[in-house]
Amino acid sequence: MPVTRDFRDRFAAAIKRSVEPIAKDIELYEAGVEIVPGLTTIAAPGHTPGMATFLLHSGSDQLLLTADLAYHPVVNIDHPWRPGPDRDKDTALASRRRIFDMAATDRLLVLGFHYPFPGLGRMLKTDMGYAWVPAGWQF
């Protein structure tokens, strides 16, 4: 479903208004660096121009935080579609493939911000691309 230019403009204006009260306190960072001990940014442009994902690490434990890299396992993993919300669809798809490949190769635990509860799982490399394997949930 296409996202109209009017919707994008109104959405951008709403975000700008929400950030203005704290703008002086915002610190920008470069993607690809450790911004605080244990939290490294990974460039993931496409959904938005400067988007990043995050790798949380402590010792040998690692967790990939996807942010808006992928917002549904079917749309973004099982099928390499180019959904409407991505500003630059080809770049977003390339970012997904690069980061999903890293997650699958390194067997990273992944937290999909917009995924069904509990949102934790792993990426599995398949002949068609990737598959989302949800983590089991224990109390």
Residue-level pLDDT at 71: 75
Q: What is the CATH number of the domain that holds 127?
A: 3.60.15.10
DSSP 9-68: HHHHHHHHHHHGGGGGG-----TTSEEETTEEEEE-TTSSTT-EEEEEEETTEEEEE-TT
Has residue 10 been placed in a domain? no
The total domain count for the chain is: 1
Specify the pTM: 0.82
**pLDDT tens-digit readout, 83-135:** 667 888 889 989 999 999 999 999 999 998 888 888 899 999 988 888 889 99
Domain hosting 38: range is 29-134
Has residue 13 been placed in a domain? no
Residue-level pLDDT at 17: 96
Has residue 7 been placed in a domain? no
